[in-house]
Amino acid sequence: MEAPPARPYQLRGLESRRFAQRKFGMVASEAPSLMGQTATYTVGGAAGGFVMGAIESAWKPPHPTAPFTHSMKIVGNHAGGLAAVAAVFGLADASLHMVNGSSPANQVVAGCLAGSLPGLKMGNAQLAVGGCAGFALMQAVGALCMRDELSEH
């Protein structure tokens, strides 16, 4: 049997382990690290929030007395909010993976939990339910697309 490539591309989601085993003859890896995945998602969310906040503060008219402070407040709010949502998603996904194993339902439930966070933070139950449904729907569509992509290989 020939050696697997030095850096096989990584798949996330449904069939990543089984696909890697079939394609590259690799043994399935352990579950994702709870702290590692949470930290990775948190940093990614903070970076995305930073970019979104910077774009928003660039579009808004400058504050008359403290433009830089006002812009940094906007950037910080976006970075903190997205970091929290991403951290909840990463923590829930890794926790569910440890309990249930690899399943597309893990990402759907994690998406629901993460999506409800902004609504809960505002104290609005309708917004929390809408966020839960929206994020869960995005994760379900992603899982279905990944399943279809993997079944073609």
Sequence ranges of the domains in the chain: 35-152
Q: What whole-number distance in Å separates Cα of residue 153 and Cα of residue 149?
A: 7
pTM for the whole thing?
A: 0.73
Q: What is the pLDDT along the chain (153 residues), one digit of tens a residue?
A: 555 554 444 444 444 555 544 544 434 455 678 899 999 999 999 999 999 999 999 999 888 899 999 999 999 999 999 999 999 999 999 999 998 888 889 999 999 999 999 999 999 999 999 999 999 999 999 988 887 766 665
φ/ψ (deg, to 5) at 127 = -65, -35
